[in-house]
């Protein structure tokens, strides 16, 4: 049966607000939280940029049962993979074994903004291969001396080890990262735009790679973007912190002000058309129900934005989750 996670957006809300949202999500029956990890937001005028690992520590302190996962952090430049393993183990201890680690190959807006050269995918994937090995071995308790092309450790060990075996999920948008997830990670994260495409490009290659390496099929976590608004104006207001995601220069930019300016040069209806619009509980059930039925994921991430986020959390928890749970039985 699928679990249902609420997505907490550091790019939209300040960290103290996200802690309140986390508490509310637990109260209203969500199984877990997906927590984004960014240095920069997507726009400068209404964006936020809290430090996700600190937010996760605060969330662990004010919740008791809801599961936690980064979605996603990048263990390649800003953080050495051993430091990410240390952070994961610490959050797991603070949450008494509720943490899973979601990682990805990164974005220039977070890495380039700190002076790192953000390379082509081939190097990012090679770095991730080393990072996954380092993190897994450290989280499993090894004292590790590692000599890779990109990363080294000398007698590194986590002296505050995790409370449980932390699964590592790798975000994948295509078959190469999916295969890497199947080979080296315990799970795969896919942002679903089309169910059949997600199955063909990510889930099937991940499962095939796992089988080729005599491993169990990876756990599957899905996310899907929805925008809640009773009118175009309200939906646009909700989407403002995310409009830079659709800017032409998104993959190269380091300045959120640049992305905001580019996005504001695009017709807002064109940007809105690229997201699933929702308003009622039935709309939400329709938006995520197909993912539940077609993909049977282990985790369904509800990634949504609205101008009344607290009210939306309550409504989805009370009125939508029971419908989705019935579909996944």
Contact 312, 304 (CB under 8 A): yes
> What secondary structure does DSSP assign to 44-80, as a single string?
SSS-----HHHHHHHHHHH-SS-EEEES-B-TTTTS-
- Residue 228 per-residue DSSP state: E
Indicate the pLDDT class of residue 288, thresholds 50, 70 and 90: very high
Q: What is the pTM of this model?
A: 0.98
Domains of the chain: 3-327 (3.20.20.30)
3-state secondary structure of 154: strand
> What mean pLDDT do residues 123-144 have?
98
Q: Tell me: the pLDDT tens digits for 8-51?
A: 999 999 999 999 999 999 999 999 999 999 999 999 999 999 99
Contact 141, 158 (CB under 8 A): yes
Q: How far is CA 93 from the centre of its chain?
A: 21
Indicate the pLDDT class of residue 328, thresholds 50, 70 and 90: confident
Contact 210, 179 (CB under 8 A): no
Averaged confidence pLDDT in the chain: 98
Q: Tell me: the pLDDT tens digits for 140-185?
A: 999 999 999 999 999 999 999 999 999 999 999 999 999 999 999 9
Statement: residue 329 has pLDDT above 90: no
Strands 144-147 and 152-156 turn out to be antiparallel
The H or E element spanning position 85 is helix 81-94
| Residue 48, token pair as written in the block | 């936020």
Contact 20, 218 (CB under 8 A): no
CA atoms within 13 A on the CB side of 52: 29
User: What's the angle, vertex CA 70, arms to CA 297 and CA 46, rounded to 5?
Assistant: 110
CA nearest neighbour of 41 among 206, 214, 324, 254: 254
- Residue 218 per-residue DSSP state: P
Report the C-alpha gap between 312 and 317 in whole angstroms: 8
pLDDT of residue 201: 98
How far lies 97's CA from each of 35, 50, 163, 266, in Å?
A: 16, 23, 5, 45
Indicate the pLDDT class of residue 55, thresholds 50, 70 and 90: very high
CA nearest neighbour of 89 among 119, 125, 53: 53
> What mean pLDDT do residues 278-293 have?
98
Tokens 């930019």 sit on residue: 253
| Residue 230, token pair as written in the block | 């009773």
Q: Report the chain's C-alpha Rg in angstroms.
A: 19
Q: Is 261 exposed, middle or buried (0-12, 13-18, 19+ CB in 10 A)?
A: middle
Residues designated catalytic: 38, 107
Q: Tell me: the pLDDT tens digits for 206-262?
A: 999 999 999 999 999 999 999 999 999 999 999 999 999 999 999 999 999 999 999
**Total residues found in the chain within this entry:** 329
């Amino acid at each position: 049966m699928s679990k249902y996670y609420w997505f907490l957006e550091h790019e939209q809300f300040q960290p103290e607000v996200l802690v309140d949202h986390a508490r509310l999500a637990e109260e209203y029956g969500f199984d877990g939280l997906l927590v984004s990890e960014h240095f920069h937001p997507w726009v400068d005028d209404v964006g936020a940029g809290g430090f996700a690992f600190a937010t996760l520590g605060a969330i662990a302190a004010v919740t008791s049962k809801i599961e936690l996962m980064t979605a996603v952090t990048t263990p390649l430049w800003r953080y050495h993979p051993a430091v990410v393993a240390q952070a994961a183990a610490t959050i797991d201890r603070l949450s008494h074994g509720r943490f899973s680690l979601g990682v990805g190959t990164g974005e220039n807006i977070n890495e380039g903004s700190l002076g790192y050269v953000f390379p082509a995918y081939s190097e990012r994937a090679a770095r991730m291969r080393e990072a996954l090995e380092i993190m897994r071995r450290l989280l499993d308790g090894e004292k590790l001396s590692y000599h890779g092309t990109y990363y080294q450790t000398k007698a590194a060990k986590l002296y505050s080890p995790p409370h449980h075996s932390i699964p590592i999920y790798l975000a994948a948008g295509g078959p190469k990262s999916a295969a890497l997830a199947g080979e080296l990670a315990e799970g795969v994260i896919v942002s679903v735009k089309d169910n059949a495409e997600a199955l063909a490009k990510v889930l099937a290659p991940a499962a095939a790679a796992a089988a080729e390496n005599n491993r169990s099929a990876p756990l599957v976590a899905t996310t899907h973007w929805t925008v809640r608004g009773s009118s175009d104006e309200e939906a646009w207001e909700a989407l403002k912190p995310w409009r830079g995601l659709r800017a032409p220069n998104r993959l190269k930019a380091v300045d959120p002000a640049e992305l905001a300016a580019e996005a504001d040069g695009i017709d807002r209806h064109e940007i809105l058309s690229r997201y699933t619009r929702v308003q009622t509980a039935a709309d939400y059930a329709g938006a995520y129900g197909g993912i539940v039925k077609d993909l049977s994921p282990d985790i369904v991430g509800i990634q949504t934005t609205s101008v009344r986020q607290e009210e939306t959390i309550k409504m989805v928890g009370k009125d939508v989750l029971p419908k989705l749970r019935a579909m996944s039985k």
